[in-house]
Structure 1
Amino acid sequence: MSRERRRGALAVARWLARKSIRAVTLLAAVCFLSFLLAKHSPIDPIQAYVGADMLRVSPEQRAQIEAYWGLDEPTHVQFRNWLAALASGDLGTSMIYRQPVADVIGERFANSLALMAAAWAMSGALGFALGVVAAMKRNTWIDRLARWYCYLLVSTPTFWLGLLMLVVFAVWLPWFPIGMGVPAGVLADEVTLGDRIRHLALPAVTLGVIGVANVALHTRQKLIDVLDSDYVLFARARGERGMTLLRRHGLRNIAIPAVTLQFASFSELFGGAVLAEQVFSYPGLGQATVSAGLRGDVPLLLGLVLFSALFVFAGNLIADLLYRIVDPRIREGAGV
């Protein structure tokens, strides 16, 4: 192996080591703070476990339930026990679903992944295309309309747009089902791919439309900066116009911020999915997170928080990797 390759491999190893340390530190802080917030929540986990506000339990029954779930231990002992179980790969058992937390997350993540993937692809493609068109038609009515549309989307709450989608496309125009992930009263073996797509359409469009604005506005501004640069002015003097100019001099430069924004938006995407899944009663991680928080299911809540932190960190890591692949200058400047 040549000296340059060894230096490159060492630089990549150091970069990955720094990212790994950041990930471990982030997860440790998230776990500790989430555990403290959950333990100091005003929600009574015993009553939530029983599942009915009118059903009261005796002191003896409460003591048995607390002993069964380990809630009678001091807070630091509970946290230590949870960390020990986590180190062995056990996320615990959900108090409201009566299933292992890993099984609940795995089942719900499949639904959320389909929803977020569809919304993510839609927002990236539409946002990039809208930003390019707005920049190429700068200061025209097309540009003004695109910017007005983006500013309107930025100020639009996800749950409000979801309710509007339900009213228009599920009530007034009964083109799509009102909610849930599959038709009600249908056996799992009888649910078709078309049924799942119809139930996925409205929440995916809601999330995708909301995510268009940031990508479009950043792509537009970056492309305007590129079009105003000296080398593009020289290219125009040589007779290059339209798509030829964009393909040769614009796409590579505007791809960098677009890629970064798209992968760095995983946290916003996950947060929006929580609201969208509640509005559409979609059985994903967002709905499980709300249920765990409202009913004091500490094991499930901690597992979901841990998984969401890993999900967001993975998106940022992929963005950094693609950033270095797209622009070699970043790789050279960072020593990676």
Structure 2
Amino acid sequence: MSWQFTWNLATYLFWKSIKIASLLVSISFISFLLVKNSPIDPIQAYVGADMLHVSAEQREKIEEYWGLNEPVIQQFFSWGSAVLSGDLGTSMIYRLPVSEVIGERFYNSLALMITAWLLSGIIGFSMGVIAAMKRDTWMDRVIKGFCYTLASTPTFWMGLLLLIVFAVWLNWFPIGMGVPSGVLAEDVTMMDRIKHLILPALTLSIIGVANVALHTRQKLIEVLSSDYIVFARARGEKGFTLFWRHGLRNIVLPAITLQFAAFSELFGGAVLAEQVFSYPGLGQATVEAGLRGDVPLLLGLVLFSTIFVFVGNLIADLIYRVVDPRTREGQSYAAK
């Protein structure tokens, strides 16, 4: 790897760091304003059902304790200063540090999203290749119709459908949650966790298949129409051999980029899937924080999800630049 490539890569990462810093500040400020102007009363969310027994003086003390009596800008800068020092605040719902809540829920969501991400990538890529190689046949039409249907299918509807069929009618999988109810944590086995993971992961992976399959099909059709493919066919190459030698290397990089760029859609879909299956992940925590006015937890989740999606896109860019030889010489890595 040349010094020029190393310097370009370092410059690229520097500008990406500037971008993520400015992005986090902007999203934090906008999210803070939206939360502060929402109709949800954070004091009521904190107190709960005992709100009727809270006097005006007690409410003022609670506001003073949480800093809710200060101007909005002052609250934002106080929160931002704490975040820069590594303190995301305390969740008003769970009465725990926000970092602990996110850390605990992240492992569950990570297992769900990685499983769905791998399945959607492998299945979608395979379907796209088959559709392109069998272009204009009944198999191609079936795959395209299936993908168009999936692309317009809401995540929650697919989750409810799988829940009804496989959990209620067939009774193959548990109805919801991340572990069996009424079982001590030390008695929960890995197989129990896998059984509760299958339906949410299958929901996310099925929805994510469509974009990868249609994109791969279109790219491979363009490759198969190129001059060097025509020349390879003239030499007698065909079928899987033709795809393996000349098609795979030209479509795998765009597919990888698209798959990593789908992190944002994957995270958004996980929110709905976790709600349908009552899966204890970041998505369910986000919905609870929003509905119950848990400002510190909600802002912490916004920051975390932003970094998560940004890192996914960054990994895709780095893989593309490292694997593709054309980007190693003569190309600037300055962010555009």
1:324 to 321, 324, 331: 321
What corresponds to 2:113 in structure 1?
116
Please tell me whether the aligned partners of residues 44 and 51 of structure 2 are also in contact (alpha carbons under 8 angstroms). Answer: no
What's the counterpart of residue 222 of structure 1? 219
- 1:282 corresponds in structure 2 to 279
For residues 157 and 330 of structure 1, what CA distance do their matches in structure 2 show? 38
Q: State how far apart, in whole Å, the 2-side matches of 1:332 and 1:277 are.
A: 45
Cα-to-partner distance string for 1:58-100 (whole Å, 9 max, x where unaligned): 1011111111111111111111111111111000000011000
Q: 2:166 aligns with which of 152, 158, 169?
A: 169
| Cross-structure match for 1:258 | 255
Match of 1:105 among 102, 105, 117: 102
CA distance in 2, matches of 1:204, 1:333: 42
Identity %: 71
1:84-99 residue pairs with structure 2 within 5 A? 84-99=81-96
Give 1:73-92 correspondences, 5 Å limit.
73-92=70-89
Shift of 1:331: 3.9
CA distance in 2, matches of 1:134, 1:202: 27
Given that 2:32 and 2:76 are in contact with CA atoms closer than 8 Å, whether structure 1 keeps it comes out as: yes
1:158 to 155, 160, 169: 155
Gaps of 5+ in 1: none
Rounded Cα–Cα distance in structure 1 between residues aligned with 2:163 and 2:262: 25
Q: TM-score, normalised by structure 1?
A: 0.97
**The residue matched to 2:329 in structure 1 has which SS?**
helix
Matching of residue 137 in structure 1 with residue 134 in structure 2: yes
Distance, in Å, in 2 between the alignment partners of 1:53 and 1:86 is 31
Distance in 2 separating the partners of 1:64 and 1:86:
24
1:264-305 superposed Cα distances (whole Å, 9 cap, x missing partner): 000000000000000000000000000001111110000000
- Contact kept, 8 Å, 1:252 with 1:326, in 2: the verdict is no
Report SS of the residue matched to 2:315: helix
CA distance in 2, matches of 1:281, 1:12: 42
Alignment of 1:195-274 (within 5 A): 195-274=192-271
Give the whole-Å Cα distance in 2 for the aligned partners of 1:10 and 1:298.
41
How does the TM-score come out when normalised to structure 2?
Answer: 0.97
In the TM superposition, residue 30 of structure 1 has moved relative to its aligned partner by 0.7
Deviation at 1:325, TM superposition (A): 2.3
Shift of residue 330 of structure 1?
3.4
> Larger deviation: 61-70 or 202-211?
61-70
